[in-house]
Chain A
Amino acid sequence: DGGITQSPKYLFRKEGQNVTLSCEQNLNHDAMYWYRQDPGQGLRLIYYSQIVNDFQKGDIAEGYSVSREKKESFPLTVTSAQKNPTAFYLCASIGQGVNEQFFGPGTRLTVL
């Protein structure tokens, strides 16, 4: 089955730790995105990548980092510089042509 997988589903982080969230897609999509969702709110863009080895900051990139070494993978690192990282993180991808956006199941990150 084609789709987007995110792992882990739940993640707990201690203060001062860096953590990495995984996002993998087998849809052969060029563009991939990371969003953050806080309770009762819409999605805010953290980083996006439209091609391998290239990525751009979104609206709330501070305290986050990404890499895009492979077309299928777009991991997000939440660094200790992110002051309020507790949130629901969603990964998405878009293919060429219709430009429909597809989402993974999300990772819920909690800072202890």
Chain B
Amino acid sequence: KQEVTQIPAALSVPEGENLVLNCSFTDSAIYNLQWFRQDPGKGLTSLLLIQSSQREQTSGRLNASLDKSSGRSTLYIAASQPGDSATYLCAVKTNAGKSTFGDGTTLTVKP
């Protein structure tokens, strides 16, 4: 059974700092990995999707990497801003069509 872990559970940084969020998974036979952002009381917003054949994806200040052999993905946020404060979740999709989510990392960026 796939298990997804996100460490740390919470992170607080000053504005302007570069930071890395981690996502690890136990079964490397994945179809894709998706990073989401969730604001309090809201649904999930897709940030980046990495297919199993890809190593990384970039969108603006965000860069996500995937290393299937080690069961790891990272989300790099450059020059963090207070508006980046949210919970970030990763989801690993298997070929069976189901996704397994981590518990998320809650990020606070202080002005």
Contact = CB atoms under 8 A, between A and B. Distances in A.
B44 A90 contact: yes
B68 interface: no
Interface string A78-112: 00000000001010100000111111111010000
A43 B101 contact: yes
A31 B32 CA distance: 16
A102 B46 contact: yes
Nearest to B46: A100
Interface string A32-59: 0101000011111100101000000010
Given A42-B89, A106-B42, A99 B102 contact: no
Interface residues of B, number: 22
Interface string B1-19: 0001000000000000000
Interface string B21-58: 00000000001101010000111111001000000000
Given A42-B103, A43-B44, A105-B42, 10 more contacts: A42-B104, A58-B98, A92-B44, A99-B31, A99-B49, A99-B93, A100-B34, A101-B34, A101-B91, A106-B41
Interface of B: 4, 31-32, 34, 36, 41-46, 49, 89, 91, 93, 97-99, 101-104
A98 B49 contact: yes
B78 to A, nearest CB: 23
Nearest to A45: B98
Interface of A: 6, 31, 33, 35, 40-45, 48, 50, 58, 88, 90, 92, 98-106, 108
A90 B43 contact: yes
Nearest to B99: A101
Contacts of B104: 42
27 contacts: A31-B97, A35-B101, A41-B103, A42-B4, A42-B101, A42-B102, A42-B104, A43-B89, A43-B91, A43-B101, A45-B98, A45-B99, A88-B41, A90-B43, A92-B44, A99-B31, A99-B32, A99-B93, A101-B91, A101-B93, A102-B46, A103-B36, A103-B43, A105-B43, A106-B41, A106-B42, A108-B41
